[in-house]
Structure 1
Amino acid sequence: MLSRKDAFIASRKHQLTNQEISRRSFIQSMVAAGVLVPTAIGMADQAMAATPKSGGKFIMGMAHGSTTDTINPLTYENGFSLVMAYLWGNSLTEVAPNGELVGDLAESFESDDAKTWRFKLRQGVEFHNGKTLTPEDVIATINLHRGEESTSAAKGVVAPIQDMAADGDTVVFTLETPNADFPYLMSDYHLVIMPSVDGTVDTLAGIGTGGFKVDNYEPGVRLSTSRNANYHKPAYFDEVEVLSLIDPTARQNALLSGDVHAIDRIDPKTVNLLGRAPNVNILEKTGTLHYTFPMRVDAAPFDNYDLRMALKLSIPRQELVDKILLGHGAIGNDHPISTANPYHAADIPQREFDADLARHHYEKSGHSGPIQLSASDAAFAGAVDAAQLIAASAAEAGIEIEVVREPSDGYWSNVWNKKPWCACYWGGRPTEDWMFASAYVAETEWNDTAWRTTESALRFNEVVAEARAELDPAKRRTQYAEAQTLIHDDGGAIVPMFANYIMGLSNEVAHGDDVAANWTMDGSKAGERWWFA
């Protein structure tokens, strides 16, 4: 616990940073508190350096983006689209830099039974076209993601919604069963709210309530935006531009040359060298990011349990962490829930490389011949090398894996969620239910393992629904442990490692003390949260 003096100093620093007191007043109060004048001056300079300043054009280089992308938020499937969503749009809630869930377009949210949720909308919020935000806009937008015909990537997220209604300035959601995590789901980047006309929404207009208006969008190339003067939150840059720079070397050279101010997904092999550059600061965050190799269980040979188990036992997990992540992460255990999640099941035995047991399952499967593994560094930095390491270790168990190098452009449209076995990454989600709803429940379009019809998959969907409705934390822990165990054992997901977010920032860029770890680039909201020092 801070002493009274330290608490006072921290409070005055906060006031100076937020321009609530003058520099002179701060120094005088520090001297009065017994701080030497030179020290007080240094503290003032440090605090003022953290004061957000407005202006300038901020350019980000992202390791994502494809010419097949669109501005329609229902289709968003990579990190470039995620950043784009939060530049021009807002969801009802958001994960704050400190990890807490707070209201965004919703001023507040509450429920007595976790089944009926009331989201009171923030007043005075305007869309870029001048229309005032209403409950009808929220209902029309969410309805786009619902229904049997929906192809939205958030279909599984909104599936629990049974009904929506407007009550004054409040949107009332009625769920099929109670869901204590429902407000978290409403922060999903696909669910940015758009203006409606007679219940109809134009998903290709790129018009939202966000801090920046879309000026130009070239899929797979760049997004150019300018500040929304009527934004309901602070946003400091005059312009934000996002560039698709999939090649790691090109991304890092752009940062070193000053062509961009920030990049994501720095290759662990070069992070130390890049960090020595005088104009670069490295920002690393540990969160829920994980790298996967999903096997589609509806396609041969991955419809065979023993074949899937043989491959899971062939993975050199620690070697992947050591050689691909260079220690910037931790081994995974073939389920998507990290130690950062509240209900991580630590009791599931850690799966290790076991050539003999892998050979046993492989022979039991009856399979012979090469198995193709599609990979591209578009999935994650070092994905192709990781696939080669997996092929080498599997060979020790008598399993032949043919690594197929796929083009980076179009990878997420042509390979992921289509080829039977490929490399992938998931940013993870703050809650178990959200992660499962995004990628593992039967109804989601992003079930990239097609794990829906096995006995374990059916039980998984049941237990996820039960946990969603359970309000007792102890019971939820047991249910989520079962869900993780089912994926670990029967599912098609190979999850060998969890990776840190590693970003590079120009020393011209400043940010708050807290930087969100739910997504890269400060929860993918660097455009509105950061500023030039």
Structure 2
Amino acid sequence: MRGAKSAKWVVGAIVVALAATACGGGNDNKGSDAKGGGVFRMGITEPTAIDPVNAQESEGMVIARALFTQLYDVSVDGKLIPKLAESGTSTDGKTWIFKIKAGTKFTNGEVVDAEAFIRGWTRVAAKASASDVSYHMAGIKGYDALKGGKSDKFAGLSAPDANTLKVELDKADFEFDKKTAHAAFSPVPKVAGAGDNKKFNDAPIGNGAFKMKGSWNHNQSISLVRNDDYGLEKAKLDGVEFKILNPANGSQLEYTGFQSGEFDYARMPTPQLPVAKAKFEPQGEWYSADFSGINYLVVFNQNAPFNNPDARKAISYAIDREAIAKSVFQGMQKPATAFLPPSFSAEYQAGVCSTCVKQDKAKAKEFAAKGGLKPGTVVNFGYNTGAGHEEWVQAVAQQLKDVLGVEVKLDGKPFKEALATQQEKKTSGLWRSAWTADYPTADNFLAPLLSTAGIGEDPATGKAQGDNRSRYSNPKFDELLDQARQEKDAAKRAELYKQAEKLAIDTDQAVVPLWQRTQYRLVNTKKFDGIKMDFFEDPTLAEISLKK
């Protein structure tokens, strides 16, 4: 997930860290109905999409997941939780059979069955949708024909009966069931139509714990209410209201709002983290947790001078991660020496990124000279504004200037605009990015962010429609991923993922790992119970309840 989830972006898809705040509406809980469930109000920046057809970063994904329920969810420790899937089985990794829970409906009364899943997945992969997240389905038979506009059907999807979904893949993938936890794999009703159906895009009709209240009021607000006809365990809140904040200072607005009593859930500007912890932790209103994610720099591989791996290594060697972690983050972030997170214990390789272990000015200059990164070179450094990144981005930029003598041009943009800029083929330099897992497998990091298929280049425009914005491409890496997916033995599969990570991150320096993902939030535990963050770094909206 950009974004960061998203990915999702963390966003992913992916995704930037969740730009979320919440407000309870005062002590009398104005806005709640007679059931007394409370209205939970959050602040986000303008999402790219809230419809699963293209939901991708944390802002959009938190809403899409509230509106839609997939075959599976994921527990905070990375275990699959059956939702609409009563079972998911495969003997060869190539043909999967999912039995779907009968009797659930969309909020317009349409039945959620196997055809609804086929409809939803086909809609995401269709050419007309131009979805940035369709690559998650690239392994399904017929994907290329559907994505290329040569077919309007997914050859690999069928419904032997109303509640059985059969999925045929081009190649074996023994972790395919984990991928279906992504919001892109949501079912949709018949009224969804094509992916560019603006009415549905702005007011999706889902099958989740919440439903839309009106339509998306762009750059202002999005409102949800509880779905009282939900086929699984119902939400406790009456509703959720998302206030869309100015992306230039979103985290500051959240922090200020929490202190004034307006918000119940807030991020903080980076310099304020220690102060906020000292004040709110004793009151039980401080929340922190490590997540399955990575903060890193996208280095655009196709354009000089970073089309040379030595130039990319020079950037990594020049960064003093420890110093920034101690000074800017006040010890509240941990330097990363691998691309995969420690939570993926079977695949985790501390120190696999040899350029990340310790700043080495001499090696930075040596590799810069070999890679054609000359003193005085203008290096564009992009980041998304309003999410607390300004201070550390400036610190990295200063280190690059001091060590390599390059001229760093900082380019801050609102998140939606930042994602669009990354897609352009002409974009060069560096970009701040982060990723948190969409589903619990190493493949979710390596394939979307580093595989050739993850680029998803549009032949007509040259834009990267996938999440591999660095445009890194190595056939050997792609081959290792294919081998891993087709390996039934989990231990052997992990070893193949390790080899793939070492190739991309150590040998080729496709991207530059920076910090592991530890998240901090302020939460109003005086008013609400059950405020936690889920596997995707989003608040557990369906589990939050008003204190009685």
The 3 A distance-change label for structure 1 pair 431 and 441 is same
Specify which of 529, 532, 536 is matched with residue 510 of structure 1: 529
Q: 1:165 aligns with which of 158, 161, 164?
A: 158
CA distance in 2, matches of 1:105, 1:378: 38
1:409–1:498 CA distance, 2 compared to 1 (3 A)? closer
Q: CA RMSD in A?
A: 2.5
Match of 2:498 in 1: 481
Q: How big is the shift at 1:252?
A: 0.8
Compute the displacement of 1:107 (Å): 2.4
Contact 1:379 1:425 in 2 (8 A): no
Aligned to 1:374: 381
Aligned partners of 1:98, 1:59: CA distance in 2, in Å?
Answer: 27
Residue 135 (structure 1) aligns with: 114
Q: CA–CA distance in 2 between the matches of 1:220 and 1:356?
A: 47
Matched, 1:435 2:435: no
Residues 458 and 491 of structure 1, relative CA distance in 2, 3 Å threshold: farther
CA displacement at 1:409 relative to structure 2? 5.7
Taking the aligned partners of 2:467 and 2:76, their CA distance within structure 1 comes to 27
Q: 2:413 aligns with which of 403, 407, 413?
A: 407
Structure 1, unmatched stretches of 5+, are 1-52
- Tell me the SS of whatever aligns to 2:241: strand
Q: Is the 8 A contact 2:314 2:365 kept in 1?
A: yes
User: Are the structure 2 counterparts of residues 61 and 280 from structure 1 closer, same or farther at C-alpha, using a change threshold of 3 Å?
Assistant: farther
User: Which residue does the alignment assign to 2:16?
Assistant: none
Aligned partner of 2:268 in structure 1 is 266
Aligned in 2, Cα 1:93/1:317: closer, same or farther, shift over 3 Å? same
TM-score by length of 1: 0.81
Q: 1:211 to 1:353 in 2, by over 3 A?
A: same
- Structure 1: how far apart are the matches of 2:302 and 2:190? 39
Aligned partner (choices 177, 192, 206) of residue 186 of structure 2? 192
Change (3 A) 1:146 1:214: same
Which entry has the higher C-alpha Rg, 1 or 2?
1
Give CA-to-partner distance per residue, 1:19-39, whole Å, 9 cap, x none: xxxxxxxxxxxxxxxxxxxxx
Matched, 1:310 2:333: no
Q: 2:511 matched to which residue of 1?
A: 493
Residue 469 (str. 1) matches residue 486 (str. 2): yes
Secondary structure of the residue that 2:271 maps to in structure 1? Answer: coil
> Aligned partners of 1:484 and 1:161: how far apart in 2?
24
CA 1:58 to 1:336, structure 2 compared with 1: closer, same or farther past 3 Å?
same
Once the two structures are superposed, residues 426-448 of structure 1 have per-residue CA deviations (whole angstroms, 9 ceiling, x without a partner) of 12342101222322221221111
Residues 469 and 271 (structure 1), Cα distance of their counterparts in 2 relative to 1, 3 Å cut: same
Q: Give the letter for the 1:244 counterpart.
A: I
The answer to whether the 8 A contact 1:388-1:403 is kept is no
Tell me the amino acid that sits aligned with residue 226 of structure 1. Answer: V
> Structure 1 residues 150 and 329, CA, compared in 2 at 3 Å: closer, same or farther?
same
CA distance in 1, matches of 2:386, 2:102: 41
Deviation at 1:214, TM superposition (A): 1.1
Whole-angstrom CA distance in 2 between matches of 1:90 and 1:437: 24
Q: CA deviation at 1:296?
A: 1.2
- Give the counterpart letter for 1:89 in structure 2: F
Counting only pairs closer than 5 Å after superposition, residues 61-100 of structure 1 correspond to structure 2 as 61-62=43-44, 64-66=45-47, 69-100=48-79
Candidates 153, 172, 177, aligned match of 2:132? 153
Count of aligned pairs between the two proteins: 466
The within-5 A match list for 1:99-138 is 99-138=78-117
**Cα 1:518–1:336 shift into 2, 3 Å:** farther
Unaligned runs of 5+ in 2: 1-34, 142-155, 455-465
8 A Cα contact 1:355 1:396, kept in partner:
no
* 1:442 counterpart letter in structure 2: T
Map 1:343-362 → 2, pairs under 5 A: 343-346=347-350, 348=352, 350=354, 351=356, 352-362=358-368
